[in-house]
Chains A and B, each alone.
Chain A
Amino acid sequence: DVKVTQSSRYLVKRTGEKVFLECVQDMDHENMFWYRQDPGLGLRLIYFSYDVKMKEKGDIPEGYSVSREKKERFSLILESASTNQTSMYLCASSLPQIQETQYFGPGTRLLVL
């Protein structure tokens, strides 16, 4: 079974802090994704990566950056956390073909105070 793990289920940070959200997958997937989930808004794509050190902006990249130094790990970075970044963050991975299933992690619920 594909396993996508995220470093924290719950995280509380202060405004202005630098925040790292880590995601690891164990199926050698080329593609990895970060989404943000908010009630009434569904999931929105922040960034994705199709290879090591490669990244592409999604629909809402402002205030975020990413890092993919190893194939299995994809990190989301909030350079200076703000209260409007309080949300659920979901990581996903998939094989490169369009029809392939995206496998999701359990999510990190981030609260920025």
Chain B
Amino acid sequence: AQTVTQSQPEMSVQEAETVTLSCTYDTSESDYYLFWYKQPPSRQMILVIRQEAYKQQNATENRFSVNFQKAAKSFSLKISDSQLGDAAMYFCAYRPNSGGGADGLTFGKGTHLIIQP
């Protein structure tokens, strides 16, 4: 069974600084997708960024980027120029490329990100 581990229950960063959230996963699959989702307080979960395992280039979305190390099974999220609106729970998630895409996501336990003004 696949597992996703987020070892940092809570992180704090000063506004405008850079923060990195860690995620490791365990799988025997070679083809899969990894995702970072954000859940702001009392608001809906939204996708931040995704990475396909077969792509060596790290995904980037504006201030958000990932460091994907397939051999190490590591998928960290870097947030640059942190803003107050980045405060949220961040979940790392995994989905294998099997089952025709109908499989659900396997989530980590989440990291609570606090932005200090």
Contact = CB atoms under 8 A, between A and B. Distances in A.
Given A42-B91, A44-B107, A50-B100, 15 more contacts: A4-B44, A33-B104, A33-B105, A40-B109, A43-B105, A45-B105, A48-B102, A50-B102, A96-B101, A96-B102, A99-B50, A99-B52, A101-B50, A102-B47, A106-B44
Interface of B: 4, 6, 9, 33, 37, 43-47, 50, 52, 91, 95-97, 100-110
Contacts of A43: 91, 105, 107
B101 A48 contact: no
B44 A104 contact: yes
A47 to B, nearest CB: 9
Contacts of A96: 100-102
A108 B41 CA distance: 14
B49 to A, nearest CB: 11
Interface of A: 4, 30-31, 33, 35, 40-45, 48, 50, 56, 58-59, 90, 92, 95-102, 104-107
Nearest to B102: A50
A106 B43 CA distance: 6
A43 B9 CA distance: 14
A103 to B, nearest CB: 8
**Shortest 9 CB-CB contacts between residues of A and residues of B:** A50-B102, A45-B104, A104-B45, A98-B101, A42-B109, A43-B107, A42-B107, A101-B47, A96-B101
Contact of A31 (B46, B102, B106): B102
